[in-house]
Chains A and B, each alone.
Chain A
Amino acid sequence: MSILQNLKRRPAQTSRSVRRTSLVLVAVLALYALLAAVGAVDGAYLGQGAVVLIAAFGAYGLNLITGYAGLASIGNAGFMAIGGIIGWSVLESTGSFELALLLGGVAGLVSGGIVGAIALRWHGFYLVLATLAVQAIVVFVLQEIQLAPGSEYLAGFTFGPMTFFGVDLFDDTTWTVLLAVLLAVVVLLIAGLVDGRFGRAWMAIRENERAADVCGINVVWMKILTFAIGSAIIAFGGVLAAAYAGSMSYESFTLEVSTSFVAMIIVGGLGSMAGPLLGALVVRLIPYVIQSNGNTEVGRALNDINGGTGLPFLQTILYCAIVLAFLVFEPMGLANLGNRLRGLLARRRRPGGGDSGGGDPGGGPPVPEPPRNDPEPVGAERSRA
């Protein structure tokens, strides 16, 4: 019953907030690009900003897969590597960066489709295993190419000079503008998907797959398609990441990189429009924060536990702890902060007002809080007492 109700009710309710959030995001990106273009952003921050923006592509792609379609995946680095290497070879052979971006994305779409078709036929966690395998295999292939006897790519695959529709990409300012524009396009694309048939299907599938099937949604096809689109965005981000860095090497596509994208979407908020960007910001900036505090009293004390080489470990520990705290205390992530604040204010205004208790936001209506009424308990339902 709930599905039929939700199919009618939810989209109307959420589409407004999706559209509004995506427009706010586009405005923020435009403002940032503008500030960067007129030179109002300090040069030191531009580089970090570009890193955050690049990470946001991967986070948006993964959020489509995990947040909206509810499929766990840890293959981000693998698909970024696919995009990067395809983009590199296209740029190398044609000299066109636009084509490199396009074909890098297409490579992600195709490989995502294949992996999805393999892993999503069955109900369960096969996708997360398949993406794990893809990641390892892609990195292995890159490594074999790079370290082959007589290879000319020992130091990595280097990107030559690039132009994007006539604009030379040589400094952080132009890169920032380009990245912001492309990210805005991706955000609008995703908002369009969430707001349309895809979004309704995702919601139905997330709540109850069998009921979604009965409603005429081809669940498997929908999942494969979503995974392919998400992978395309991730691979697109992979081209950008490699091109921005100037070269790519198999060593930079580790499982930790994939995990950091998982961390971003959790911290930002699974299945939210603003989440991936917020998550990318937080997760990519934690290392800088720790680095800059490494010489304070606390930093030195912590570093001494390890004997002086603990900073990288400390970064990982801290950001993992933050992510776990988000999973426990605020599973809807930073994107829900607005609702939380509004809920707090509303409660203060009418003391003793009905609070649903638990971790639910007090009175913020826009973010859907799906009721759990599936007849068959799946997953952690089992582990809950």
Chain B
Amino acid sequence: MGTLGAALNGVLLLSAIYALLSLGLVLIFRATRVLNFAAGAIGLVGAYLVYELSTIFGSFYPALVVGIVVAIAFGALIYLGVLSPISGARASIGASTDVGVVLGTIILAELLIAAVPFFAGSRGRPVDVPLPAWQWSAGGLTISSLQIVAFVLMIAVVVGVAVGLRRSPLGLRMRAAADSPRLARLNGISTREVATVTWALSALVSMLGVLLYATSTDLQPASAAGLGAALFPALLLGGLDSIGGCILGSIVLALVQSFSAVYLGGEWMAVSPYIFLLLVLIVRPQGFFGKAEFSRL
């Protein structure tokens, strides 16, 4: 029980982190068919800002509100300023899939992860969320109020986004653009506007994800970069374009990572997502809820 409890420790928080970050990726993948490698980095920028603001304001929640607004603006800005121009220019690269934009997000991630410590210094920052201190433990398992809040927040955000996509007029436009960009354009929907909104939304949820991450580990550029890459198995397992799938994928990934750390040793923590990723690629690359496009072998 002791080891099992230890293995389950932190899974709630970790799966909430992964789910929020992969939600951002799913949204972007649906809207623009781009794998965004910069999610961790974009989230990092927002989370740093919240940290800095909370030390300036002296309290966390006002900083969070400002951070949310800035993150949304930042996401939109990144799409309009960097990725939209790349996808416009991409035609001349001649790749049929938009390799250029994917490469762009990889480079963008590295840029942001170098820019944050350049402007803010590279010491780690612990984010302290003021919550009622409460915790329950049994065996090696400890569940704190923070973990519960994180998980509930994740569920609320994911359900909110899913309902928003289904019910709101904007969500309808986003689904239409994801489904068939050409038809959507013919019906007067601006796919550019939809993509901008998507990137803004995605930056917001990424920021929340990295912020949650920073409550357990110090906020550090390198770790955010790792986070942005390590969450891909969750995304893949859920199916690249399934919002529900990303919750399941995140929980499985968090379990895999946490179990491998406890049973195999701490050094497996960082690599287990990638082994898992390779296994998923071998066994079921379309994930549980995604639609696969087969090539013939």
| Binding between chains A and B | yes
A residues whose Cβ falls under 8 Å from a Cβ of B: 66, 70-72, 74, 117-126, 128-130, 132-137, 140, 143-144, 205-209, 213, 219-221, 255-256, 259, 262-263, 266, 270-271, 305-307, 309-310, 312-314, 316-317, 320-321, 323-324, 327-329, 331-332, 359-360, 368-370, 372, 374, 377-385
Contacts of B185 in A (CB 8 A): 385
Residues of chain A contacted by B118 (CB below 8 angstroms): 305-306, 310, 313-314, 317
B6-39 CB contacts (< 8 Å) to partner A? 31-35, 37
Q: Could you say which residues of chain B place their CB within 8 Å of the CB of A121?
A: 285, 294-295, 297
Query: Chain B binding site: helix, strand, loop or mixed by DSSP?
Result: helix
13 pairs, A vs B, C-beta closer than 8 Å: A72-B97, A122-B286, A123-B293, A132-B232, A134-B278, A221-B297, A379-B32, A380-B32, A380-B98, A382-B181, A382-B191, A382-B195, A383-B87
* Contact call B295/A384, Cβ cutoff below 8 A: no
A307 touches B121 (CB 8 A): yes
**CB distance B35 to A328 under 8 Å?**
no
B170 on interface, CB distance cutoff 8 Å: no
Please tell me if B282 contacts chain A, counting CB pairs below 8 Å.
yes
- Least CB distance from A300 to B in Å reads 15
Q: Does B106 contact A (CB under 8 A)?
A: yes
Question: Does the CB pair A328–B190 fall under 8 Å?
Answer: no
**Contact residue among B90, B97, B296 (Cβ-Cβ distance under 8 Å from A331):** B90
Chain A residues in 8 Å Cβ range of B34: 379-380, 383
A132 and B91 CA atoms in complex are apart in Å by 26
Q: For residue A213, which residue of chain B has the nearest CB?
A: B296
Q: Give the number of A-B contacts (CB < 8 Å).
A: 235
Which residues of chain B are within 8 angstroms of A305 by Cβ–Cβ distance? 118-119
Interface residues of B in 240-297 (CB under 8 A from A): 240, 267, 270-271, 273-275, 277-278, 281-282, 285-286, 292-297
State which of A118, A372, A379 has its C-beta within 8 Å of the C-beta of B278.
A118
Least CB distance from B151 to A in Å reads 26
Report the interface size class on chain B.
Answer: 35 or more
Establish whether residues B275 and A259, one from each chain, have CB atoms under 8 Å apart when the complex forms: no
Say if the beta carbon of B115 comes within 8 Å of chain A: yes
A124 touches which one: B94, B108, B293 (CB < 8 A)?
Answer: B293
A-contact bits for B84-123, CB 8 A (1 contact / 0 none): 1111111111111111111110111011001101110110
Taking CB atoms and an 8 Å cut-off, the chain B residues in 109-145 that contact chain A are: 110-111, 114-115, 117-119, 121-122
Pairwise interchain contact B82-A324, C-beta atoms closer than 8 A: yes
Chain B residues within 8 Å of A262, by CB: 103, 106-107
Interface of A is mostly: helix
Q: Kindly provide the distance from the CB of B282 to the nearest chain A CB, expressed in whole angstroms.
A: 5
The 8 tightest CB contacts between A and B, nearest first, are A380-B87, A379-B98, A385-B192, A320-B111, A316-B114, A380-B98, A313-B118, A136-B274
The docked-state distance in angstroms from the alpha carbon of A377 to that of B98 is 10
Contact A144 B87, CB 8 Å, known A137-B278, A262-B103, A262-B106: no
Are A327 and B35 in contact, with the CB atoms below 8 A?
A: no
Residue of B102, B191, B274 with highest tally of chain A CB at under 10 A: B274
Is the CB–CB distance between A208 and B274 below 8 Å? no
Given the contacts A129-B236, A130-B278, A316-B114, A122 and B94 also touching, CB distance less than 8 Å: no
CB A253 to nearest CB in B, in angstroms, measures 13
Q: Across the interface, which residues of A come within 8 angstroms of B94, CB to CB?
A: 70, 206-207, 270-271, 368-370
